[in-house]
Amino acid sequence: MKKLFAIALLLGMLLTACQSGNEEQGSTKEEAASQQQKTEKKEITKEEIDLNTKPNEAGQIMILMYHNISTPEAEWVRTPENFRKDLQALYDQGYLPISLTDYVNGNITAPAGKSPYVLTFDDGRENNFNYLEDGSINPDSAVGIIMEFAEKYDDFEPRATFFVNGTGRFGPKEEVQKKFDFLVENGMEVGNHTINHPNMKTLDASGVQKEIGGQKAYLEESFSKPYNINTLALPFGSRPDKSLYNYLETGSYEGKDYKNIAILNVGWDPNPSPYHTDFDPLAIHRVRASETNVDDVGIYDWIEILKNHPKRRFVSDGAANIVTVPQGLEENVKAPEGKELLVY
Ligand SMILES: [Zn+2]
């Protein structure tokens, strides 16, 4: 068996080598280079920061919460048409998606003058990621729409986190690995949404650890390469008793430890900059990406509020190694180790 695997691996390597060696076969190499350029961290000096782009890395960032992408539109359903409209509205207002991991790690590489945001989808619905009969990704699924947008705009990278609960995992069992692998290969992420989607209030310590640790182990088996599930979206945004909060972050189930770097609530407002002293990666607020029953705090309300209150909005300086904030906003900002603070 091992031998077979080794042969398959070798064949795969040979195939890859052939492809990149054959320039007529298309732009495999160029694509790879441009993809790398896109995600490469830019390290520049303070003097090179373009202050005309009005960077504000003290500002807030929207973590958008979606569920279904389907029809008809409803409280927890966004139509494909409306999801496209959301991406376009954000893009037109200077927003670009970043990964949840980069957000919590303060690794913000959005170009100067752009505002990062984070896309999240709960419940692992089939309408988030499915295939047409010919095997192509359904262009009206969440993943189809994100990839279509990335194709259309050079500076838009496909970044999103899919929080999966139970055994669903976007529908048919036999497609799971292909789908999970595709997400990771394209810069997207899979997160934990527990086994049974319980109200966490009803659970004791072992219940909390089973729901989180059990689902983590289950999901991780579905990738062809090692993958660490380390982000958690709380079902209904519910938390257990305060004395058990630590089990949301770290715990153990069936001999396997887990550690979450991000815990997401539901919510109604953007979250602080990862450089702000109020930033708590273990209690991240989300903005509902909807126009139904959002009580004036939905995605379009916040696009408008942040447009009218630039001090509240995170605007990138385009440098990975510098945290740039306008004068007067520096008080609650701390540049993490390895980064410099620039106040202007
Ligand atoms: Zn859910």
Distance from the alpha carbon of residue 198 to the mean position of ligand 1, in angstroms: 9
| Token pair of 33 as six digits | 């280079």
183 C-alpha to ligand 1 centroid (Å): 19
Cα–ligand 1 centroid distance for 166 (angstroms): 10
Does residue 80 lie within any of the structural domains?
yes
Would you say residue 149 lies in a domain?
yes
Q: Give residue 298 CA to ligand 1 midpoint distance, Å.
A: 18
At 281, the pLDDT band (50, 70, 90 cuts) reads very high
Q: How far is the CA of 284 from the centre of ligand 1 (A)?
A: 15
* 264 occurs within a structural domain: yes
Distance of CA 237 from the midpoint of ligand 1 (Å):
8
For residue 193, report the distance from its CA to the centre of ligand 1, in Å.
Answer: 7
Owning domain of residue 261: 60-343
If we measure between CA atoms, which residue out of 326, 254, 270, 224 comes closest to residue 60?
270
DSSP H stretches of helix in the chain: 2-21, 28-39, 80-92, 100-104, 142-152, 176-185, 205-220, 246-249, 299-308
| Cα–Cα distance, 90 to 86 (Å, whole number) | 6
Distance CA 301, CA 294 (A): 9
Reduced to 3 states (helix: H, G, I; strand: E, B; else coil), residue 308 is: helix
How many angstroms separate the alpha carbon of residue 123 from the centre of ligand 1? 5
Q: Over range 312-326, report the average pLDDT.
A: 96
The whole-angstrom distance between residue 42's C-alpha and the CA centroid of its chain comes to 20
**What is the total count of domains within the chain?**
1
What is the Å distance from ligand 1's center to 152 Cα?
30
Radius of gyration (C-alpha) of the chain in whole angstroms:
21
Query: Is position 250 within any domain?
Result: yes
Residue 8 lies in a domain: no
* pLDDT single digits (tens) 148-176: 999 999 999 999 999 999 998 999 999 99
Asked if residue 290 has pLDDT above 70, the reply is yes
Cα(30) to ligand 1 centroid in Å equals: 40
Identity of residue 250? T
- Euclidean distance between the first and the last CA atom of the chain, given in angstroms as a whole number: 62
Write the burial class of residue 92 (CB in 10 Å: 0-12 exposed, 13-18 middle, 19+ buried): exposed
> Is the confidence at residue 252, as pLDDT, over 50?
yes
CA angle 130, 103, 185 (to 5 degrees): 35
Given a cut of 90, whether residue 35 has pLDDT beyond it is no
| 259 half-sphere exposure, CB direction, 13 A CA radius | 1
Work out the average pLDDT over 13-41: 42
* Residue 99: partners with Cβ closer than 8 Å, 6 or more residues away: 118, 159, 161, 187, 188, 189
Distance, CA 167 to ligand 1 centroid (Å)? 13
Q: Could you tell me if residue 4 is inside a domain?
A: no
pLDDT at 230: 98
Q: How far is the CA of 40 from the centre of ligand 1 (A)?
A: 33
Please give the distance, rounded to the nearest whole angstrom, from the Cα atom of residue 245 to the centre of ligand 1: 19
106: in domain: yes
Q: Is residue 108, in this structure, part of any structural domain at all?
A: yes
CA of 131 to the centre of ligand 1 (A): 23
Going by pLDDT thresholds of 50, 70 and 90, the confidence category of residue 40 is low
Q: Hey, is 333 helix, strand or coil? A: strand
CB 212 within 8 A of CB 263: no
What CATH number should be reported for the domain holding residue 65? 3.20.20.370
Residue type, 103: Y
> Residue 181: its pLDDT value, please?
98
